[in-house]
């Protein structure tokens, strides 16, 4: 009992206080268990309802699996080199050249890059005005609400909305990414501005600077690196969005992938997928290098893009071995 009192910080009080403390601890423990059980039950019910809604069935998987196995040789066309079985990568390469997939990769990249750049001014404007440090509450809520409404509508839906303006084209996809960037990147900018220190702001204010000078030199100067890092991350995200927009006709690799899907040309589909992986992976690697550099990490981490790309397989193997 004396040890328990010391542990609970009640060594100088009577037994009644100890009993009360123990009762309170037991009550909290029971409540935690009840809440944990309730969360598990609710999660299980929602999961079961979700499976029923999507029509999940093990029987369907087992029935359709042989058809999937029959299609695999079309995804990975077999051939032999020196008498050994290999994947016929030349079929992929031939289709890439014939369908000009490299040119369509440029279209996808152009949609993402142009949309990101055009969305930056709006993201910066809304991001600043939505900060309570710049526009007092509740007036800043108007800009927060605007960005929330933008984010509530997926980029795919924005592209459909803009069809009367630019048709089903890469131009429409660029407009969709521009609006999407304004909402998502603007919110990230706002969050960064809310976390800056007050010291530089008060220092600029003490000089009698104007509001725009306070924002530029007292606020934005503190988050410049974070803004660049988020822009690189958003460009990486927008490349994937541009690929998805191609599935509805916005051009680029996504459009070619959708055409081959509709005609059940699985080998050609895989060629598109290979280029999509290479394009998205390259942009992600470049974005990661930019963010790593801006974080002021050790020189060991500040490797070049090519070096990082070549060392990626080794790092993956080391990571997998470490987890074991």
208-230, pLDDT tens digit by residue?
A: 778 888 888 888 888 888 899 89
**Residue 201 predicted with pLDDT over 90:** no
210-230 burial code (b ≥16 CB/10 A, e <16):
eeeebbebbbbebbeebbebb
DSSP 8-state class, residue 214 = I
Concatenated DSSP letters of 50-61: HHHHHT--HHHH
Identify whether the C-beta of residue 280 lies closer than 8 Å to the C-beta of residue 254: no
> Which of 112-116, 241-245, 299-303 bottoms out in mean pLDDT, i.e. has the lowest?
299-303
Q: How far is residue 176's CA from residue 156's CA, in Å, rounded to a whole number?
A: 7
DSSP 8-state class, residue 166 = H
Give residue 271's pLDDT. Answer: 93
Neighbour-count burial of 81, counting CB atoms closer than 10 A to its CB (0-12 exposed, 13-18 middle, 19+ buried): exposed
The reported pTM is 0.77
Nearest to 150 by CA among 114, 111, 190, 110: 190
Band (pLDDT 50/70/90 cuts) for residue 20 is: confident
Count the neighbouring beta carbons within 10 Å of the beta carbon of residue 155. Answer: 26
Q: How far is residue 127's CA from residue 88's CA, in Å, rounded to a whole number?
A: 50
Name the strand (E) or helix (H) holding 172: helix 170-194
Q: How far is residue 215's CA from residue 221's CA, in Å, rounded to a whole number?
A: 8
Average per-residue pLDDT for the chain: 84
Task: Read off the pLDDT of residues 83-137 as tens digits, 9 standing for 90 and up.
Answer: 888 888 899 999 999 999 999 999 999 999 999 999 999 999 999 999 888 888 8
Collapse the DSSP code of 80 into the 3-class scheme (helix H, G, I; strand E, B; otherwise coil) and give the result.
strand
């Amino acid at each position: 009992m004396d040890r328990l009192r010391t542990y609970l910080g009640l060594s100088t009080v009577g037994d009644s206080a100890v009993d009360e403390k123990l009762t309170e601890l037991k009550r909290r423990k029971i409540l935690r268990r009840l809440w944990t059980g309730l969360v598990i039950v609710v999660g299980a019910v929602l999961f079961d309802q979700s499976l029923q809604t999507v029509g999940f069935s093990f029987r369907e998987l087992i029935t359709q699996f042989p058809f999937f196995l029959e299609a695999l040789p079309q995804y990975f066309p077999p051939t032999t080199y020196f008498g050994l079985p290999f994947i016929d990568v030349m079929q992929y390469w031939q289709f890439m050249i014939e369908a000009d997939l490299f040119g369509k990769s440029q279209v996808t990249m152009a949609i993402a890059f142009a949309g990101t750049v055009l969305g930056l001014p709006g993201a910066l404007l809304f991001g600043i005005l939505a900060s309570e440090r710049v526009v007092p509450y509740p007036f800043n809520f108007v800009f927060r609400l605007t960005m929330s409404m933008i984010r509530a509508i997926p980029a795919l839906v924005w592209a459909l909305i803009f069809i009367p303006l630019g048709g089903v084209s890469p131009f429409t996809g660029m407009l969709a990414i521009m609006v999407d960037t304004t909402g998502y990147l603007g919110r990230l900018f706002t969050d960064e501005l809310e976390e800056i220190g007050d010291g530089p702001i008060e220092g600029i204010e003490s000089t009698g600077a104007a509001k725009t000078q306070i924002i530029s030199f007292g606020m934005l100067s503190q988050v410049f690196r974070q803004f660049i890092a988020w822009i690189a991350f958003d460009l990486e995200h927008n490349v994937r969005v541009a690929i998805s927009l191609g599935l509805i006709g916005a051009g680029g690799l996504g459009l070619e992938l959708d055409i081959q899907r509709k005609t059940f040309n699985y080998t050609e589909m895989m060629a598109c997928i290979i280029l999509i992986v290479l394009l998205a992976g390259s942009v992600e690697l470049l974005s990661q290098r930019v963010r790593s550099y801006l974080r002021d990490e050790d020189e060991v981490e500040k490797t070049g893009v090519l070096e990082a790309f070549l060392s990626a397989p080794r790092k993956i193997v080391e990571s997998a071995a470490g987890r074991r």
